[in-house]
Structure 1
Amino acid sequence: MKKIAIIGGGIIGMTLANYLDTEKFDITIFDSGKHQATGASAGIISPWLSKRRNKQWYALARDGAAFFEQLVKDFSLDENIYEKCGTLFVRSPQALQELEQLALERRAEAPEIGEIRQLTAEETTEMLPLLKPVESLYISGGARLDGKAYLQHLRERAQTRGVHVISEEAQVEKKKAKWWVTSGQARVEVDELVLTPGPALKTLLDQLGYTANVSPQKGQLLSFETKFETEKWPVAFLEGEADLIPFQNGRLLLGATHENEAAWDLEPTQEAFDQLTKGVQSFLKEDYFSDTAYSYRVGTRAYTADFAPFFGPIEQEEGLSVASGLGSSGLTTGPYIAHLLAQHLNTDNSVWEMSRYTKEMNLYINKKEE
């Protein structure tokens, strides 16, 4: 049996640990829990109307969203973790027309979009009662995912499968064609090493003599505990930065910030509260949030210079694979990336061809000059 270590227990690492073949691999996952983007996240799975021009990213996000049907079955995800609830888009009338046309075009290759319907102002308010009467576009295929609940569920599942979970930071080194991983309580020699630690990939690869084009980005979400009956409400993309994400039991999330300069900082800020609540305020019938109990979720995303993810084996290093740079779409793309990596590792497939989803690895990772 081969030994494999995964460093980083976020959405890729923990999903990968659950898809690896336990009859083939003795699996250890290292994760300190610090700075984790997924553990602080909750988000919208609805990538189809994105205006991003990167066709590889869109193909990955589209197929990642489609993969959730299998993911839900494979991991028995309940509605507190993932639920298909539909998506509302609130835009100007002209923009709504353009979005509807885009949805109709893309549904040919993404039937998961489901129903596409222009809503009147009254229909919008009926579907999401917090909103002012305003026209919107509804697509039935949108969903919500609670990243924190997802990771907790998968961590428990991994441990029942015999995966060793070590809640510590790890260092890596290579000795005589073997990979060594060291933490405070463990030192293990492994045949395969998979690095999925978000922006901390830069530090780990530096230990192995590589540079990585990946940077940290702070993200803050607000979670409100309300008395609303939110179970049947759709998620909403509001014009600007604010997303409104209803969950079960009256929980409403607003998010999220994208703070490049804050990097690794995890302190909640009043500026984030003001930005998110003011960003959504003009769309609401009244101020629902000023006197409502709330908490922050703060994490650190990984992003690249071209805002695209990279993942796969490092050709020059047998037994080394990486994944990072997911940015704010990690909840949509992360599980699918993990599944692709698991397929590659489980089958001993020496061919890795992912040009439909990602650019060449050497755009992001390179050997240091001597």
Structure 2
Amino acid sequence: MRKRIAIIGGGIVGSTAAYYLSQMPNADERDVVMFDDSYGQATKAASGIISPWLSKRRNKQWYNLAKAGAKLIPEIANATHMNSEIFDHCGTIITRENESNLDELYLFAKERTQVTPEMGKIQKLDRKAVQSQIPILTNPKSGVLVSGGSRINGALFCQHLISIAKKNNLTVHDGRARLINDHTISFKEQSFEFDRIIVATGAWVKETMQPLNVKVHVRPQKGQLVELKVPDFPTHENMPVMMPEGEYDFIPLGHGKLIVGATHDDNKEFDLSKEASVDNQLIDSAQNLVSGLTPTDIILSKVGTRAYTNDFAPFFGIVPNHDNVLIGSGLGSSGLTTGPMIGKLLAGSAIFGGHPDWKMYEKPISNYIS
């Protein structure tokens, strides 16, 4: 008997789940249907850095999840033949203003490489060495290079995985779907029945789960980033990304393009308007590293809405008292790193059932759902 699985949401979690549902054993014996209303979706507005290893977060479950995600994403990229526009193993530079803080960061990185080989090679770089790696910088800072770091384009990553899944067993419906019960989804005045349903609607998950009388404790956060025109260095099209101390993420794309951001605005919630004042804020940050940038250098500006929990940790798994509904949300600003691992785990659970033990990756799901 064929198994029918639904995915509500085509962002980083939903698209990765769809990919694995098309690749895991007996894929030809199941039908997967995705309902994707991409309005405000965080992933489609995101370009990010995959380099979680030097985070000082005390949440060990989050670190285990992020570390697993940072290992999984290059595996997906390699298996699916992603090009460098989607994913690039370019390395990450983390800067520090104070020399003693830089030494502390370097020693911390060297220590973590002992148990995390995917971090790659660790180097301490002075200002001149950083500039040689990223020549668009006019005011470089000293930093630590982690060669295993990467950059990722969220929208292209999702599109790539969905296109692969569609060749196997995935059907995609564009638009907003509504849960009726544990097995039924309403879409454009039609009802669809499924064996399992994966809910991956990010900041909109509270609204998605309302028909089941399930309360999800997440809050929305607006994020905005800019892509800027910068000098092109043809011999350095594959520059490391940078996490500069006190500034927004700095993501050179090569070919005279640079992404800066994204911001974190808790007050604007679902407001998806592009704000010129925020663009200027991002440019001011970039100017501390690259002199001469102005608003005329903006190529485009993107806005999305992230989902956050009160303790900044993601949650995922089977919805309590609803064994056929799975959920993943609360990814916050690390969604591009943690989302693929969550999608893979949810896909496996949707196929094989049961109540898997994921406590090494997350706190009890009941902390976030009532």
Q: Normalising by structure 1, what TM-score?
A: 0.94
Which of 135, 139, 142 lines up with 2:146 in the alignment?
139
Inter-partner Cα distance in structure 2 for 1:189 and 1:355: 31
1:245 alignment partner, SS class: strand
Residue 224 of structure 1 contacts residue 289 of structure 1 at CA under 8 Å; is this kept in 2? no
- 1:219 is matched with 223
- Structure 1: which amino acid aligns with 2:219? S
In the TM superposition, what are the counterparts of 1:122-137 in structure 2 within 5 Å? 122-131=128-137, 132-137=139-144
- 2:201 is matched with 197
Between 244-253 and 52-61, the greater mean CA deviation after superposition: 244-253
Alignment deviations for residues 1-40 of structure 1 (CA, whole Å, 9 cap, x no partner): 1111110100000110111143232110001110100000
- 1:102 is matched with 108
1:103 alignment partner, SS class: helix
Give the superposed CA RMSD. Answer: 1.5
Answer yes or no: is 1:253 the counterpart of 2:254: no
Which of 81, 100, 122 lines up with 1:116 in the alignment?
122
Residue 318 of structure 2 contacts residue 355 of structure 2 at CA under 8 Å; is this kept in 1? no
Answer yes or no: is 1:169 the counterpart of 2:170: no
- 1:207 is matched with 211
Inter-partner Cα distance in structure 2 for 1:12 and 1:134: 35
Alignment deviations for residues 80-135 of structure 1 (CA, whole Å, 9 cap, x no partner): 10010011112121221111121112112211111111112211111111222432
Residue 219 of structure 1 contacts residue 299 of structure 1 at CA under 8 Å; is this kept in 2? yes
Shift of 1:343: 2.1
- 1:58 is matched with 63
Residue 238 of structure 1 contacts residue 280 of structure 1 at CA under 8 Å; is this kept in 2? no
Alignment deviations for residues 162-187 of structure 1 (CA, whole Å, 9 cap, x no partner): 3110011011012xxx5111122642
Inter-partner Cα distance in structure 2 for 1:75 and 1:3: 24
Shift of 1:289: 4.2
- Structure 2: which amino acid aligns with 1:278? D
2:355 alignment partner, SS class: coil
Residue 80 of structure 1 contacts residue 248 of structure 1 at CA under 8 Å; is this kept in 2? no
Q: Tell me how many residue pairs correspond in the alignment.
A: 361
With over 3 angstroms needed to count, the CA separation of the structure-2 counterparts of 1:59 and 1:69, relative to structure 1, is same
Answer yes or no: is 1:294 the counterpart of 2:299: yes
Shift of 1:227: 4.6
Inter-partner Cα distance in structure 2 for 1:185 and 1:276: 43
Inter-partner Cα distance in structure 2 for 1:170 and 1:30: 6
Which of 74, 77, 94 lines up with 1:72 in the alignment?
77
Shift of 1:251: 2.1
Residue 16 of structure 2 contacts residue 340 of structure 2 at CA under 8 Å; is this kept in 1? yes
Which of 161, 166, 181 lines up with 1:159 in the alignment?
166
- Structure 2: which amino acid aligns with 1:15? T
Residue 313 of structure 1 contacts residue 322 of structure 1 at CA under 8 Å; is this kept in 2? yes
What is the percent sequence identity of the aligned residues? Answer: 38
Inter-partner Cα distance in structure 1 for 2:345 and 2:216: 21
Which of 87, 93, 102 lines up with 1:88 in the alignment?
93
Residue 218 of structure 1 contacts residue 262 of structure 1 at CA under 8 Å; is this kept in 2? yes
Alignment deviations for residues 145-198 of structure 1 (CA, whole Å, 9 cap, x no partner): 011111222232222223110011011012xxx511112264211110110000
Answer yes or no: is 1:148 the counterpart of 2:158: no
Residue 28 of structure 2 contacts residue 168 of structure 2 at CA under 8 Å; is this kept in 1? no
Residue 88 of structure 1 contacts residue 235 of structure 1 at CA under 8 Å; is this kept in 2? yes
Q: Unmatched 5+ residue regions in structure 1? A: none
Inter-partner Cα distance in structure 2 for 1:160 and 1:209: 36
2:63 alignment partner, SS class: helix
- Structure 2: which amino acid aligns with 1:179? H
Answer yes or no: is 1:31 the counterpart of 2:36: yes
Shift of 1:74: 2.8
Query: Which ranges of 4 or more aligned residues in structure 1 deviate by more than 6 Å?
Result: none
Alignment deviations for residues 224-255 of structure 1 (CA, whole Å, 9 cap, x no partner): 24451352211011112411101243321000
